[in-house]
Chain A
């Protein structure tokens, strides 16, 4: 498979969707006769996107560079599993940052991250994650004066801050 062709297909579908959705842009009354409405720019961008991605697609059939071929051997050496776990860890971080609060959720995220990347030394893991999140929290709240929510879990146990 050719790399530029995969990308071209992705962009062709994306541009077509973008173009199609440009008709959904709601126009205000009285702007129908204006030369440039909120719809104009997206409409032409959509056309341009479809045009360029089609050109890319055509070129990917006319001329194939060796470099453009998807190197399956190389792909097999890639560690997609770790990448996926880290993505899940980030989503988990987003999910817990408000409920558990900045400090606890950051500690968990960093521990997860270090473990996923196979750091074995627990002393390093705990020391780094605790010190980074607490120091960063102190920096934000005490030094820079930025308000950081305590987290719902704290409010549940200690009541909301007044």
Chain B
């Protein structure tokens, strides 16, 4: 393990890779800041840039983009009360009031310190948890993997929010269906290609991610005709004030950061939960344990209310890498896109990643730490200038986002059919967004689809066609029991809980 860590440190600290983290963090911050464009779009837009890079450097860049996007989301939450990322909605609760009181600089600094500490604490946890889990998961068989994927997909739906369970489940199934398009990996038979040669290879994950996120988010932005309000424009022109945080203030937020980071990390590890839920939970926890006097400050610019969600969302980002790196199973839309990228570099994450590509495994973990340092040292002082970029008119920005997504996919295949397919999927995505169906479960289902089918086939072959593999192994059975609980609970609560509360 020490050898692995050393290898990771030397890889991550090479000049080129530090440069990559910096570029990633910077680009991520900018994209994450734009209202409507989240970390999935940011990562998808950067993936074409990483083709041709060494996988370690590519993943390091992507991890930087992920952190940057979350940090950028906090910046727009604090400055203009328009969270670019769902994970930073809770940041706006207390960050924006602080900015209105003229303490935008302090709020940004606290957000940066909290993110940094959250990321750091979580990186240490990751350092311990990931190899341990990787060792355990070496004993997993295909039936366990199948069960884990079912659990992951179910959890995403279960955590989708009140009344959204079935919608998220439907989107997951939609993703699984799209994954079956193309040549069947086992028999070589083509499925759902309708005789079109362009579909023989299936739908590329990058195409789907770009169309359903970057392109459709840009289109939604145009359709909704969101213009910056006068208030937002004025808020951007204001000086952000001093970045200094006093010692006493640091003392107040230090325990908050500690608690929220640990909570955030564990929520991040859970499949389906992730940064958004982590930040809301941390905010809620902090408010409930605060004394009466403190409680009144929440929502009006409380330092604790700002530090809690900020440290939790960054810690959750690191936490979500645990199942991705050790099991090869993503727990969220964002990590699903990262998994898709890894597979396209020819690397299959999973328990063997730790053994076969130790440099990659460890350098990603180490570079997460470096990413956090860069966000603190490089991005924080630059924030006043980056914030000015937010004022770039959207009529210039949005066509550029569209161009980058179209060309990012086209340059991989040089097939114009891909452009038409992207347009088609972005129209479908806009329609589904208008009727409130979530996109992240679809991309997760799409990326897990192929793997799920393969593992199911393997498990069925081993058990000679009998479904007994579902309950014969204790690991498989217990994972499936958890899945069933997750599956039944929201359905029952949707049916009965509302009736009880209404009576």
Seen from chain A, the residues whose Cβ lies within 8 Å of a Cβ on chain B are 3-4, 6-8, 10-11, 14-15, 18, 21, 25-28, 31, 35-38, 41-42, 45-46, 48-49, 52-53, 55-56, 59, 63, 65, 68, 70, 77-80, 82-83, 86-87, 90-91, 93-95, 97-98, 106, 109-110, 112-114, 116-119, 124, 128, 132, 136, 140, 144, 146, 148-149
Which residues of the other chain, A, contact B225 by a CB distance below 8 angstroms? 77-79, 82
Given contacts A49-B173, A86-B219, contact A113 B402 (CB under 8 A): yes
What's the least CB distance linking A148 to chain B, in Å?
Answer: 8
Identify whether the interface residues of A are mostly helix, strand, loop, or mixed: helix
Check if B423 sits within 8 Å of A91, measured CB to CB.
yes
What's the least CB distance linking A54 to chain B, in Å?
Answer: 10
Q: Which 5 A-B pairs have the closest CB atoms?
A: A113-B399, A94-B419, A117-B395, A35-B465, A38-B184
Which residues of the other chain, B, contact A15 by a CB distance below 8 angstroms? 173, 177
Check if A79 sits within 8 Å of B453, measured CB to CB.
no
Interface stretch of the complex, out of B109-117, B235-243, B427-435: B427-435
Which residues of the other chain, B, contact A55 by a CB distance below 8 angstroms? 166
Which residues of the other chain, B, contact A119 by a CB distance below 8 angstroms? 393, 395-396
Taken residue by residue from 203 to 245, chain B's Cβ proximity to chain A (1 for < 8 Å, 0 otherwise) reads as 0000000000000000100111100000000000000000000
Tell me if B292 is interfacial: C-beta within 8 Å of chain A: no
Question: Size of chain B's interface in residues, with CB distance under 8 A?
Answer: 61
Which residues of the other chain, B, contact A49 by a CB distance below 8 angstroms? 170, 173-174, 177
Least CB separation from B164: chain A residue: A4
Identify whether the interface residues of B are mostly helix, strand, loop, or mixed: helix
Which residues of the other chain, B, contact A82 by a CB distance below 8 angstroms? 222-223, 225
What's the least CB distance linking B382 to chain A, in Å?
Answer: 22
Check if B416 sits within 8 Å of A83, measured CB to CB.
no
Q: When chains A and B are docked, how far (Å) is the Cα of A125 from the Cα of B394?
A: 13
Tell me if B471 is interfacial: C-beta within 8 Å of chain A: no
Q: When chains A and B are docked, how far (Å) is the Cα of A90 from the Cα of B403?
A: 9
Given contacts A45-B176, A113-B402, contact A86 B222 (CB under 8 A): yes
Name B420-440 residues within 8 Å CB distance of A: 420, 422-423, 426-427, 430-432, 434-437
What's the least CB distance linking A147 to chain B, in Å?
Answer: 9
Which residues of the other chain, A, contact B189 by a CB distance below 8 angstroms? 25-28, 38
Q: A45 contacts which of B173, B457, B498 (Cβ < 8 Å)?
A: B173
Check if A56 sits within 8 Å of B399, measured CB to CB.
no
Tell me if B346 is interfacial: C-beta within 8 Å of chain A: no
What's the least CB distance linking B454 to chain A, in Å?
Answer: 10
Check if A94 sits within 8 Å of B416, measured CB to CB.
yes
Q: When chains A and B are docked, how far (Å) is the Cα of A3 from the Cα of B169?
A: 16
Tell me if B78 is interfacial: C-beta within 8 Å of chain A: no
